[in-house]
Structure 1
Amino acid sequence: MVVHQELATRTKTVCSFFAIQGTRNTQTRGDPGFPFVAEETAEYSFCMILTALSGDGHWSAEKPFAYLLQIDDVKILLDCGSPEWCTENGQADWTSYTSALKAIAPSVDLVLFSHGDLSHIGLYAYAHSRWGLHAPAYASLPVQALGKLAVSEEAEGIRSEQDVEQQEMPAGNQPDGEAPDNEHASTASSKPLIPTLKEISIAFDSLITLRYSQLAHLSGKCQGLTITPYAAGHTLGGTIWKIRSASSGTIMYAVHLNHMSERHLDGTVLIKGGVSGSSVFEPLARPDLLITDASRTLLTVPRRKDRDAALLETITTALENSHSVFLPCDSSTRLLELLVLLDQHWTFAHLRVPMCLISRTGKEMLSVIRTMVDWMGGAIAREDVSVPVSRSGQRRRNDYEDDLVNPALRLRYLECFSSPDAVTRKYPSNMPKLILAVPLNLSHGPSRQFFTELASVTGNLLVLTSRGDPGTLTRLLYDQWHAAQKNDHTLKVGEPIDGTGEVLNVVLRLKVPLQGAELEAYVAEKRAIKEREALQQATSARTQRLLEADEGEESSDEEDSDGGSEAGGGTNDAHDGDVTMDGTRSRSGNAGGDAQGGLDWSLLDADDTQSRAQQLSFDIYLKGNVSRATSFFRSTVAGVSSTQQAGLTRFRMFPVVERKKRIDAYGETLDVGMWMRKGRALEEDSRTVETEEMDVVEAQDEAAEEVPSKFVAENVPVRLACQIFFVDMEGLNDGRAVKTIVPQVNPRKMIVVGASSEATEALIHSCGSIRAMTKEIFAPAAGERLTIGQQTNTFTVSLSDQLLDSIMMSNFEDNQVGFVHGRITMSADSSIPILEPVVNASSASAQWNRVPGCIPQLPRSTLAPRASCSLAPSTIIGDLKLTALKNRLGAVGISVEFAGEGVLVCASPSGSDYVTVKKVGKGQVILEGSPSELYYSVRDEVYELHAMLET
């Protein structure tokens, strides 16, 4: 006998519909109010709102990526990129983007980062420290490390050339009711928003790192959401984020993908087996919402093999002709692919030309990536990392600092420099060499400085590996190269072009030391500032000493009587003398000088004596022990010691002596100093290693600013005489791949971002020509709130206590679901209708039978056929994952194997019974097998993965 059971499972819509019908009230069951009220009255259920802060679907120029995704009441910030602050046409206006990000930063509940370059993570440190973006932020470990290096490189580079300090308060510190000055706000917005190194360290240390495919269940306000990162390609640690919500389904954020395998990276996990004849990774297939970019839809690039060969051949030819090669590059993400390629070519071609990397964070970047080999793929993952051993069995030592480093990451021919001057000191300008300098856009820093030196030399080669951002020098040079190409270079690599001889006016911003009159003025100003600070410190110290002296009155008050001690009184009587009407003191009793605390008037000249007499004309002195400073008000005479000034001590009030209470309510003596010492000890113990490191960084910054300097802008004319060559090394999908991969993912809804209007329309038109592809494709404009959801009619009802007691709830993910069957009644006390359970006939008859005086009718004793009994229909909610079922069955000791796509074969420990589980369609699960303990065990595990509702 074979049992064939089919389970028709509904989608999560049933669960979501019930979940939005109401929230349990805080009132108790016995409260006459409404214990369960449906308060959802929105027009959309399963509502998601996407706001493109930057990088919308209709841009006119490339912008950073930053999107606000709102799921129910949870606000998720997807990326937080920084724009290109320095362009050839002056500072770009990014006020709208920065103002929007600043406004929503404190209310963000979750932050997700996809890549570690500036266009995705560049503005996070500034927003974290200045705008209150303190929500939990997640990223992969390489994105955290490389993003920190990229932001640090940009911050140091721009701060060394421009004055970027702005008078901006952190979020929440602005006084209530005060609006910022518009003129000041506009001036501040024109400057680059650059954080300090300390702020960068604090912000990136707060990131929470996840590994690929690591499921993270969120808590707090984000409870009910799960996030999972997957490999995106393009950059080390690049991430596709899968967001799972019980009410909104699955959202996939996938921007800047690369399906091609490279030397240091594998392609994205989204697609397997190449574009043609490929299959989509099952956990990422058919999402409810896909957010992806279309920036490369209109581009077609040649094969990687042809591009690498053309790049190496062009560089080698220029070097063999005794010319230098200049290659602008980024600081972390795409630099590793170039370094591995060039280092291998240097080894195989036996080149002896120096290869120089100019970057402040270059050495640190190499140290970081050598610890992340497990995140890499391609040729590096297949390299042998074993230690080289000689024939004698001894370990061979080489000139590299660590023999255990992966051979592909040793980069023996690479030399790192922190500044262009360091390269010039070691290698003359006329010596052929390969120079890799940051940044990629030639907007500032070493790359811009080297361009002015090498571009005017005939024969030198300038290699561009990216098209650059619009308005930058890199995009200007690319446009010249592109316009000079005779053949279509979309299917094959183009050719180098000779310099046109055009003179470019390049503005170099530098920080130069002060000289001459400027230096003297600066020193004088600094001296005046130090004098004012010293005066303020002296005043504060004097006030502090007076306060401490005033606190010491207790001991003298306890030891002395109101009239003073005998010895003290006699001593003071002998030296106080008489006080005249003009306030001067008689010298008859002060022959002993200041031995007993009196004032030696011989130390003062006549003018000082007269002024002193005028100052003391209204002072009244007391006899007693006043030899030490016990007063709050005390005059200071230049050239007179503290002991001599004791005779001039004045009291606040005559002749009252304040007695302070030095015990608490329990009679214990208060020791303020002990508590202060304990507080300082606890404060020192609370300092962590990170705080000490930040102090070191801050000290280095202060030391670097000790040299007086100023910021200048110099207009340098550069005659473009070098050769220019472009090869696409960005590591991104082109238009053919994008138009092939997106239909295979086949989302239910899709949002296109990060592209021009032409590229967006091209992708939408390509997807629209596919019948199985969704037609709900959106492309939001900048600042537009795009609402996505299912439009439904909702009502407000109240559930009675009897109905709540009759509901059988089942667990589904993070929610409890149940089936409700009742009728609507109205109450005179409220306008909200009440949903009550339906009373069937049998229960109604039982109620009538219990009524007093009612004679029940006995049933007739006649034979009749037994009525048919039908089971109550049930609804099963959930989506069965065969991998999850396999794990559950394996945990209970059942052998499980995959027999094909969508078929799971289960065997008993003895091997005598078999049960198969098949997924034959959407929501269709079939169990086949003979009635046995194995069959019912498998069925129970299948039921456990679903929520069953009795209807």
Structure 2
Amino acid sequence: MNREDTPPPAASSDVFEGNASIGLSGTLGGISVSASASSYIKFTALSGARDTGPPCYLLEIDQAKILLDCGWDDAFDPETIPHLKSIAHQLDAVLLSHPDVTHLGALPYARSKLSLTCPVYATLPVSQLGRLAVSDALSSRTALEPFDLFDTKDVDKAFSGVVLLHYRQNTALGGRNAEGLYITPYPAGHSLGGTVWHIQKDEDRIVYAVDFNHTRENLLPPCAFITPGPSLDALSEPSVLIVGSRNALDGVGDSASAPLSDPQVAFGMAAVGRRVREGAIVETILGTLRSSGSVLIPISHPSRLLELGYLLHTEWERRRHPWPVAALGWTWSEVHAQARSMLEWMGSEVDARFQRDRENPLSISRIKFLKTTLELSKLPAGTPRVILCPSATLDRGPSRDLFLTMCIDPRACVIITERQKEDTAAGRLWKEWAKRVAGEGTRELPGGVSVETEMAVKLHHKIPLTGDELIAHHRAEILRKEAQLAELQLANPLAAPSGDADADSEDDALVADVEEARNPLLVHFDAYLGPAAGRGQAAQFRMFPSAEGRRRWDEYGEVIDPEQYMGKEMHFGNAEAIRGRVAERGKEDSMDVDVPSVPDVESGAPEVPSKYLTEDRVLQVRCTVRYVDLEGLADGRSMRNILPGVRAKKIILVHGLQAATDYMQSFCLSNPSLTNEVVAPRVGETVNVSTARNMYQIKLTDQLVSSLRMARLGDYQLAFVDGVIRFPPEGGDPILDLPPADGLGSSLTAFQQPSIIVGDMKLSKFRDVLAAEGIRSEFAEGGVLVCNGGTVAIRKSASGQITIEGVLGEDYYKVRQLVYAQHSIL
């Protein structure tokens, strides 16, 4: 009897493994060969491994190279992402998960300087809010320090080409290397448009969930891991799960093995509900305001601004508090404006609230949006206020400027809602807070503490040039332009200068306006203009080799530049004059007027020549500090409950401190419900996480293929292979051909092959098969599927092994036959 005709033996307990590696298999001369649908998968941590650095990871699936996030920090130091430079030009795709600098800050730099040309995929909020977050961080950096790695044009260009996807939109990646690869974004919580990525090729499925939140917030939905339905089914039982371990120690403080006096356990304070934490932060704010102190809340990215803004607006609207609340950031007013049109990304409850109340939940009129610290003068003078501002590190931007003035005030309070690195100002404040609350011996939500310490900081200043320094700068600029023009004329003496002469002259006039506004006594001159050229006169170019460019025309006539007809005060260089008039008008009415600051990075106006100074200062910190976790991430206790339900075959731990990563790895290895294949690579380390570890490419001859007896499973056809491997003399892939025609040896080999079962059955979907056959089923404790009141039980282990147990009878054989029907038997 042939192997295919042999019925499976009847037994009261059947155990078999559904092999997820579907394809051709067999024995060739004692060597096991698999030509399967499994892929060769490698993972490399470029940054953000065994630390809380920005996430940036390389995922290789066969020949395809995918970058998972492209994170940086607000320092924009290339030394922190050295590995990205070597692989940027080789990438086939980039997947972005959250709209903050930590997850996508290096994208403009990679596009403009590292030859990154592949498609970038993200949801609409991640792309639009991410662009604003990077622009805001760039503005804060260039306002105080020289910076030339990228500019606002590079930011706009990098994000304008992002491929926008909706949640659950299955998309095929393009390119020869990425053929057969599909990506699907799912809700991650934590941020507006935040994404858990599902990546699939054949039977291999990778889930990337570095930062997610399991709870529903005021505006943001929870992650797809806990939402029953198709999303949860799609993310369950992946071949590889890439997950962050940032909060792995949360809840460890509940254990007697973790002494509360250890400052590290401040990471693991007993987790409390979101409502309790929100109430604690409101209580701290109101207590500080009633004591005539102001409150500073540094925030890392736009989504946390929206959540905190909604919380404070609701409280202020309900209680009618008199104190002002301001959101201070270069781009935050635009963040708010764009988020108002993204309600569909905030979950069904927010949409239902909008349909019921007919009011946009983001109409947070109690929050006043300001661009620069100069606009704080719009707030009532001498009144305590609450200020939300970037960046969360307190090292740059408006948060740094305000911290310098507020830290010396014992009445003021700094509320930290997100943990930062210890080498940042916020990280050092958090450490001081953690030491004090750990010594109190309480496991409740710790309150604010008065911090009295000294903090050494490095301050950067940008000072406009004046006097001799300004004159020397202009002379150097003239010499530089002369050298450039000389090179151009030497290259092509007969060619006229490219570009529009009118536009150039208008730009020069604008620069002259700015310089004159800064220094009225400065004499302006241009080596290429005649001596009669002056203010209010048409420019007369000198004789050869200078030439006047041709004017631009379109179908309506000569192209007109509106700035030519603007008054001098309309230019950004004289924005102070506008501010003066706005301040006077503000006494008459309360209309908000957005006035660009000087310099405004987004305006594109020429900057006033400046110099940069660095100052080392020791701050005398005397303010109150409190930490309340509102970063919108799943805590460690919840992660330890969620991971067993995902049932991943392999787990990669990233984006967590060394202690948190080691603890999470130990937990996974000691938990029988989780796989024992758990890796935690270091930065720069590459790990092989392929489903099949030994894989080879081989060609089959036509004669061999025609002799195979195929069995169908889904879209695949399977068969055993018996043949001989030959290596072509000219090189290339080896060839598998029919064995020598000795007859007996080949037939005996085929007859002796054991039967195997191929397939990967999900118990949740198998319930539908049972219901269609009239068999009742339900899940019992431990994920066991019980049929017809307990007569038959089906178990599935983390490795994919299926066990059928029950009393021999009609129900047992019927259920077993249905299980076999979901597989292919070879």
Question: 1:81: which partner in 2?
Answer: 71
Question: 2:46: which partner in 1?
Answer: 53
Question: 1:106: which partner in 2?
Answer: 89
Q: 1:783: Cα distance to partner? A: 1.0
Counting matched residue pairs gives 670
The residue identity in structure 2 corresponding to 1:316 is L
Q: Deviations over 1:199-236 (max 9, x none)?
A: 11121122222222222233432122222222121112
- Are 1:213 and 2:203 an aligned pair? no
Q: Distance in 1 between matches of 2:192 and 2:543?
A: 69
Aligned 8 A contact 1:263 1:377 in 2: no
Question: 1:730: which partner in 2?
Answer: 631
Residue from 508, 515, 524 that aligns with 2:475: 524
Q: 1:523: Cα distance to partner? A: 2.8
The residue identity in structure 2 corresponding to 1:711 is Y
Q: Secondary structure at the match of 2:391?
A: coil
- Are 1:709 and 2:665 an aligned pair? no
Q: Distance in 2 between matches of 1:127 and 1:795?
A: 34
- Are 1:740 and 2:710 an aligned pair? no
Higher-Rg member (1/2): 1
The residue identity in structure 2 corresponding to 1:246 is D
- Are 1:72 and 2:41 an aligned pair? no
Distance change >3 Å, CA 446–CA 822, structure 1 → 2: closer
Distance change >3 Å, CA 525–CA 823, structure 1 → 2: closer
Q: 1:714: Cα distance to partner? A: 3.9
Question: 2:253: which partner in 1?
Answer: none
Distance change >3 Å, CA 414–CA 835, structure 1 → 2: same
Distance change >3 Å, CA 425–CA 510, structure 1 → 2: farther
The residue identity in structure 2 corresponding to 1:433 is R
Distance change >3 Å, CA 812–CA 131, structure 1 → 2: farther
Question: 1:348: which partner in 2?
Answer: 318
Q: 1:541: Cα distance to partner? A: 9.5
Distance change >3 Å, CA 530–CA 133, structure 1 → 2: closer
Q: 1:81: Cα distance to partner? A: 0.7
Q: 1:759: Cα distance to partner? A: 1.4
Q: Distance in 2 between matches of 1:729 and 1:827?
A: 62
Distance change >3 Å, CA 216–CA 346, structure 1 → 2: same
Q: Secondary structure at the match of 1:111?
A: strand
Q: Deviations over 1:44-69 (max 9, x none)?
A: 97432111111113x4xx21111111
Aligned 8 A contact 2:26 2:721 in 1: no
Aligned 8 A contact 2:20 2:759 in 1: no
Structure 1, unaligned stretches of length 5 or more?
Answer: 22-37, 87-91, 166-192, 388-403, 547-636, 640-675, 686-696, 845-869, 889-893, 903-917, 927-938
Q: Deviations over 1:118-163 (max 9, x none)?
A: 2211111211221122222222222112211111111111112111
Aligned 8 A contact 1:290 1:750 in 2: yes
Aligned 8 A contact 1:822 1:838 in 2: no
Aligned pairs (5 A) from 1:252-271: 252-271=207-226
Question: 1:292: which partner in 2?
Answer: 243
Aligned 8 A contact 2:27 2:721 in 1: no
Aligned 8 A contact 1:370 1:405 in 2: no
Q: 1:445: Cα distance to partner? A: 1.1
Aligned 8 A contact 1:142 1:372 in 2: yes
Q: Deviations over 1:601-642 (max 9, x none)?
A: xxxxxxxxxxxxxxxxxxxxxxxxxxxxxxxxxxxx999xxx
Aligned pairs (5 A) from 1:208-287: 208-220=163-175, 221-246=177-202, 249-272=204-227, 281-287=232-238
Q: 1:876: Cα distance to partner? A: 7.6
Distance change >3 Å, CA 377–CA 838, structure 1 → 2: same
- Are 1:128 and 2:111 an aligned pair? yes
Q: Distance in 2 between matches of 1:801 and 1:679?
A: 66
- Are 1:492 and 2:393 an aligned pair? no
Q: Secondary structure at the match of 2:494?
A: helix
Aligned 8 A contact 1:10 1:876 in 2: yes
Q: Distance in 2 between matches of 1:489 and 1:280?
A: 42
Q: Secondary structure at the match of 1:334?
A: helix
Q: 1:266: Cα distance to partner? A: 2.2
Q: 1:788: Cα distance to partner? A: 2.5
Distance change >3 Å, CA 519–CA 102, structure 1 → 2: same
- Are 1:328 and 2:280 an aligned pair? no
Q: Distance in 2 between matches of 1:54 and 1:372?
A: 31
Question: 1:413: which partner in 2?
Answer: 366
Q: Distance in 2 between matches of 1:43 and 1:268?
A: 33
Question: 1:148: which partner in 2?
Answer: 131
- Are 1:461 and 2:413 an aligned pair? yes
Question: 2:688: which partner in 1?
Answer: 787
Distance change >3 Å, CA 813–CA 99, structure 1 → 2: farther
Q: Deviations over 1:494-539 (max 9, x none)?
A: 1222241x44444332322211111222233334445666777889
Aligned pairs (5 A) from 1:719-868: 719-789=620-690, 799-807=700-708, 817-824=717-724, 835-836=737-738
Aligned 8 A contact 1:18 1:817 in 2: no
The residue identity in structure 2 corresponding to 1:758 is A
Question: 2:334: which partner in 1?
Answer: 364
Q: Distance in 1 between matches of 2:314 and 2:615?
A: 39
Question: 1:204: which partner in 2?
Answer: 159
The residue identity in structure 2 corresponding to 1:423 is L
Q: Distance in 2 between matches of 1:43 and 1:877?
A: 11
Distance change >3 Å, CA 638–CA 317, structure 1 → 2: closer
Aligned 8 A contact 1:234 1:258 in 2: yes
Distance change >3 Å, CA 897–CA 365, structure 1 → 2: farther
Aligned pairs (5 A) from 1:568-587: none
Q: Deviations over 1:287-319 (max 9, x none)?
A: 222111211111233322221112111111221
Question: 1:570: which partner in 2?
Answer: none
Question: 1:312: which partner in 2?
Answer: 282
Q: Distance in 2 between matches of 1:638 and 1:287?
A: 73
Distance change >3 Å, CA 477–CA 825, structure 1 → 2: closer
Q: Distance in 2 between matches of 1:49 and 1:638?
A: 65
Question: 1:116: which partner in 2?
Answer: 99
Residue from 443, 458, 474 that aligns with 2:395: 443
Structure 2, unaligned stretches of length 5 or more?
Answer: 1-7, 250-267, 498-541, 545-549, 560-595, 780-791, 805-816
Q: Distance in 2 between matches of 1:747 and 1:841?
A: 45
Q: CA RMSD in A?
A: 4.9
Q: 1:775: Cα distance to partner? A: 1.4
Q: 1:383: Cα distance to partner? A: 1.9
Distance change >3 Å, CA 489–CA 442, structure 1 → 2: farther
Q: Distance in 1 between matches of 2:693 and 2:451?
A: 64
Aligned 8 A contact 1:74 1:222 in 2: yes
Q: Deviations over 1:168-218 (max 9, x none)?
A: xxxxxxxxxxxxxxxxxxxxxxxxx5x211111121122222222222233
Distance change >3 Å, CA 716–CA 245, structure 1 → 2: same
Question: 1:391: which partner in 2?
Answer: none
Q: Deviations over 1:541-579 (max 9, x none)?
A: 972489xxxxxxxxxxxxxxxxxxxxxxxxxxxxxxxxx
Distance change >3 Å, CA 109–CA 786, structure 1 → 2: same
Q: Secondary structure at the match of 1:789?
A: coil
Q: Deviations over 1:67-104 (max 9, x none)?
A: 11112222121111103528xxxxx7x63x53211101
Q: Deviations over 1:405-434 (max 9, x none)?
A: 51x210111111111011135543x32111
Q: 1:489: Cα distance to partner? A: 7.9
Distance change >3 Å, CA 134–CA 791, structure 1 → 2: same
Structure 1 length normalisation: TM-score? 0.62
Of the structure 1 ranges 211-220 and 226-235, higher mean CA displacement relative to structure 2 is found in 211-220
Q: Secondary structure at the match of 2:393?
A: coil
Question: 1:514: which partner in 2?
Answer: 465
Distance change >3 Å, CA 13–CA 461, structure 1 → 2: closer
